[in-house]
Amino acid sequence: MIPAPSSPAFKLFLGDLFMVGCCVFYLAWWILAFKPEGAIKGMKSGWLLLPAFILGAAAVFTITPWANAIEAEQSFFTGRTVLIGGIAAYVVLLAVTNIAFHRQVTTELFLIVGWTGIALLEANALYELQALSRGGTIALFVAILLAAVISMVCYLLYYGLDPLPGYIDGMIPLILVAIFMLLMAMLTTRAKWPLS
């Protein structure tokens, strides 16, 4: 059952769907613009990035404030902790991937770190809303971090791959994010509101 529209869980649910939509449009663009043969370049495929951007921004501005607004006794961390940790992680990964691995810096690094922060923040909010047990939340944290590691591996490997493997490599993070956000949306249906 979809959470009540007045609850924070509904805002999280809506944000999750926005993020899934973002991934769908971004993936559609990638499939068309980067296929090894017969790629569709320019605005014939590029227009797909506009709804991807709009839906991605809508997800951030829907999930983040509501995940931060829940005041519950049980919580693993604050939104401020995630923000500071995310900035630190981005700076470190930027340096390591560029200097140590000589990987050209692209937007995907920012997107991977940003999604990881948002997903961790929402997982914490689901714990606050009693949609997950403590153990279940920790397991979800680990799964999110594992997805981030897989995405980072794809990010590092991309430029060293042949066209077809690189084409597939670029899809993996988008598919992972879409799956996780669908999972998050399903978990919002278990949230309790108002908190007891």
Cα separation, 81 vs 182, in Å, equals 25
For the segment 46-72, the average pLDDT, to the nearest whole number, is 96
pLDDT of residue 139: 98
Angle at CA 128, nearest 5°, toward 1 and 84?
120
pLDDT beyond 90 at 1 = no
pLDDT above 80 (res 196): no
Q: What is the mean pLDDT of residues 99-111?
A: 95
Report the pLDDT averaged over residues 164-192. 97
174's tokens: 């988008």
In order of 63, 122, 131, 147, 186, the CA distances from 68 in angstroms are 8, 9, 16, 23, 20
In tens, the pLDDT along 115-168 reads: 999 999 999 999 999 999 999 999 999 999 999 999 999 999 999 999 999 999
Query: Is residue 72 very low, low, confident or very high in pLDDT (cuts 50, 70, 90)?
Result: confident
pLDDT-above-90 percentage for the chain: 96
Q: pLDDT class for 71, splitting at 50, 70, 90?
A: confident
Q: Is the pLDDT of residue 45 over 90?
A: yes
Asked if residue 19 lies in contact with residue 59, where contact means CB atoms within 8 angstroms, the answer is yes
Classify residue 5 by its DSSP letter: T
d(CA 174, CA 170): 8
Per-residue pLDDT of 5-35, as tens digits, reads 999 999 999 999 999 999 999 999 999 999 9
Greatest CA separation for the chain: 57
Which of the 8 DSSP states describes residue 97?
I
pLDDT of the residue at 73: 87
Residue 157 three-state SS: helix
How many Cβ atoms from other residues are within 10 Å of residue 108's Cβ?
16
Q: Report the percent of the chain where pLDDT is more than 70.
A: 99
Domain ranges of the chain: 8-188
Q: How many CB atoms lie within 10 A of CB 148?
A: 22
